[in-house]
Amino acid sequence: MKTILVIHGPNLNLLGKREQEVYGSVTMDGINNALHAEAKQLGIELKIVQSNHEGEIVTLIGDAQNTSVDGILINPAAYTHTSVAIHDAVKGCSIPTVEVHLSNIYSREEFRHKSFTAPAVIGQVCGFGLQSYILGLRGLVEIVK
């Protein structure tokens, strides 16, 4: 059975309370429950982690190769727009990775229009709320299966 590592970046633990006009009322637990339900349909396993720390996310990606992870689904959150280290970790890890965002980062403030992660991933899904994760997972599983 294939295993997908899901990484939620900084502040995504606050979904449901945080900027509801942008992110809606969905919580991280709500996203995780929907991902688990989808994973069951797809016949895959999920490992889900959330971190507010850039270095921890870099280590998770770097270690993924030694822990039989077949694909990575990541919402790097604010680190999307700043992190060369996460870009390098994804680029260097040789595990297919998909980037997702709840909001459409290209229709928001200009500083969100640049993704450092995007050039290192297979593809990016943004703007569909919770469905960005589901669509990203489906696309990723098509590739790793």
Stretch 61-90: interaction string toward ligand DQA, x if CB under 6 A: --------------x-xx-x----------
Locus of tokens 């996203």: 31
Catalytic: which of 23, 79, 87, 133?
A: 23
How many residues sit close enough to ligand DQA to count as binding (CB under 6 A)?
10
Nearest approach, Cβ of residue 88 and ligand DQA (Å):
19
Residues that bind ligand DQA in the complex, under the rule CB under 6 A:
11, 75, 77-78, 80, 101-103, 105, 112
